[in-house]
Chains A and B, each alone.
Chain A
Amino acid sequence: MMQRIVWRLMLALVLTCTLMAPAGFCVAPPQARNEAPPEIQAQMDKLQQQATDARSAGDNAWMLVCAALVLMMTGPGLALFYGGLVRRKNVLATMMQSFILMAVITALWAFFGYSLVFHEGNRFIGGLGYLFLHGVGSAPDPDYAGTIPQQTFMVYQLMFAIITPALITGAFAERMKFKAMLLFMVLWSIIVYDPMAHMVWGKGGFLNASLGGVIPTLDFAGGTVVHVTSGVSALVCALYLGKRLGFPKEPMPPHSVVLSVVGACMLWVGWFGFNAGSALAAGGLATSAFVATHFGAAAATLGWAAAEWIHRGKASVLGAISGAVAGLVAITPAAGFVGPMSALAIGAIAGVVCYLMVSRVKSLFGYDDSLDAFGVHGAGGSLGAILTGVFAVSAINPIFKNAQGGATAVGMIDGHPSQVLNQLVGVAIAWGLGVVGTLVILKVVDLTIGLRVSEEQEIQGLDLSQHGEEGYYLEA
């Protein structure tokens, strides 16, 4: 009798425990509270890992392609664009300036460049923890890009470090010594690019908008870091080196606008890697940046062409492609922050403003910025950076968050007009660093090896005098 009662009590207990176990009333044998049985948990972990891997595969594939696209912007995009704009006797030397940077900057980046930009350091420059890319492998860096190997992020950023100095070559085209250019570029990359890139994109950088900056400057893909620094440095170079022999009396038309058109188209396509890739993932933000980039280019093409048509009576091909580049430059800081209609507006404004910079301001002041590196990149980048402060909206990119983690207004039309002031600070710092850094470097190079080729060499052409080659052997 007692035994039956005990058995019934035990049965009741076991049933109760089994039924109440999910509510945690009884301690179930061996597993912890909220975990499924081991086989199911292992399966879930495996699926979770596969989902993460799939996401990572998508992002990584996209980012590697973007890195390739950005490299293509330098070679052959910029090489063709600039090459076509110079006289025939300088075509190879001009292309070589872009091409050699693909090699030189890579070495610097691998040794210490990446570390100086992206390793934690102080407000103005990174540390040397990634010297020789130590520690930069397949594991992601969650602060920068949590779904792709850090090595992908590193090589993507390398392509930006390559094209930025290449843009400056447009200012001193047709008169700079090859070895002087090499020394100048090595120093510029370290003294100007690395600090600026760290300030805007590096952890704790002074201007970083999302990783603990003091004055958050919105720069999605490098308006200040790439275009303002290189454009302003270009102006300083043009003024320091002086005008080409015969400028401005002697006509120096492009020897092949055909090459320049091809180059400009490659720049447009490659820019999708530059801007959309700056989303660092293959998601909705990349799409948004892709669309904004394209729209900016299109609107600026129309803006420049219309301005030229009205001003001069004809829309030139060179003008149209210059307009496209100006639009791409201006949309670069804005690409991942603004909506499509704002992108059209930014492009249209940039097209007209850069046209005026190149056709009126340059002749007004008389400087020989041979390929309009300042007029397009310096001016377009500054304009774009400021307009980013106007048109950025949290609906596109909720980059600013309040203490609760909710999105707050980003740009002026979003309800945060003081962002424009932040942008001005970023632009001013880029200008300051560009001007001072470049002046110092130019002086050093000038005093050590000399900057400009001799008159004879300039008349003979850089292809022959610097490289012993001719671009086109027409009799061969």
Chain B
Amino acid sequence: MKKIEAIVQPSRFDAVKSALQEVGVEGMTVSEVRGHGRQKGHTEVYRGSEYTVDLLPKVKLELVVSDALKDPAVKAILKAAKTGKIGDGKIFVTTVDEAIRIRNEDRGETAL
């Protein structure tokens, strides 16, 4: 089982979600985060004081999928989230040791 963590532009999130559902991903956790890679921020002015905002809003998706579904899922995210500009985001893939469904204590890939 693999965990896919994807940080994408908020404007691309809906497309990413639809694309993942199309390839058969059945669950995900989504959070609104702030962050940056190499993308520059913007300046805000408040009553004459100027300051730089360099933590930009992003959307983070976390999903755990079976090994077989990992490549299709990553491809789907890439296709939907890419705009070609700096700030598109990143995808990280890690291996998951255990997965358990709380309701009935299923373990392994059946829990996904």
Contacts and interface: CB of A to CB of B under 8 A. Distances in A.
Nearest to A319: B47
Contact of B48 (A254, A314, A363): A363
Closest 8 pairs (CB-CB, A-B): A359-B48, A251-B51, A253-B46, A358-B47, A358-B48, A312-B45, A363-B48, A372-B47
B49 interface: yes
B45 A316 contact: yes
Contacts of A253: 44, 46, 51
A324 to B, nearest CB: 14
A362 interface: yes
A253 B49 CA distance: 9
Interface string A345-373: 00000000000001110110000000010
Interface extent on B, as a size class? Answer: under 10
A253 B50 CA distance: 10
Nearest to B52: A251
A254 B47 CA distance: 10
B43 to A, nearest CB: 10
A463 B7 CA distance: 34
B46 A318 contact: yes
A322 interface: yes
Interface in A310-356: 312, 314, 316, 318-319, 322
B36 to A, nearest CB: 15
Interface residues of A, number: 17
A248 interface: yes
A252 B51 CA distance: 9
B45 A360 contact: no
A372 B47 CA distance: 9
Contacts of A316: 45
Interface in B41-92: 44-49, 51, 53
Contacts of B49: 248, 251, 363
A120 B39 CA distance: 69
Contacts of A312: 45
Contacts of B53: 251
A318 B47 contact: yes
A377 to B, nearest CB: 14
A269 B110 CA distance: 63
26 contacts: A248-B49, A251-B44, A251-B46, A251-B49, A251-B51, A251-B53, A252-B46, A253-B44, A253-B46, A253-B51, A254-B46, A312-B45, A314-B45, A316-B45, A318-B46, A318-B47, A319-B47, A322-B47, A358-B47, A358-B48, A359-B47, A359-B48, A362-B48, A363-B48, A363-B49, A372-B47
Interface in A360-396: 360, 362-363, 372
Interface in A232-288: 248, 251-254
A253 B46 CA distance: 7
B52 to A, nearest CB: 8
A360 B51 CA distance: 15
A156 B2 CA distance: 71
Nearest to A357: B48
B101 to A, nearest CB: 25
A360 B47 contact: no
Nearest to A369: B47
Contacts of B48: 358-360, 362-363
B11 to A, nearest CB: 22
B53 to A, nearest CB: 8
B81 to A, nearest CB: 28
Nearest to A308: B45
A363 B44 CA distance: 16
Contacts of B44: 251, 253
Nearest to B47: A358
A362 B49 CA distance: 10
Contacts of A252: 46
Nearest to A372: B47
A419 B53 CA distance: 50
A254 B49 CA distance: 12
Query: Which one of B48, B49, B53 has the greatest number of beta carbons of chain A within 10 Å?
Result: B48
A372 B48 CA distance: 11
B62 to A, nearest CB: 20
Nearest to B48: A359
Contacts of A318: 46-47
A393 B48 CA distance: 36
Nearest to B46: A253
B55 to A, nearest CB: 11
Given A248-B49, A322-B47, 12 more contacts: A251-B46, A251-B51, A251-B53, A253-B46, A254-B46, A312-B45, A316-B45, A318-B46, A319-B47, A358-B47, A359-B47, A363-B48
A254 B51 CA distance: 13
A251 B50 CA distance: 8
Interface in A54-81: none
A386 to B, nearest CB: 24
A55 to B, nearest CB: 46
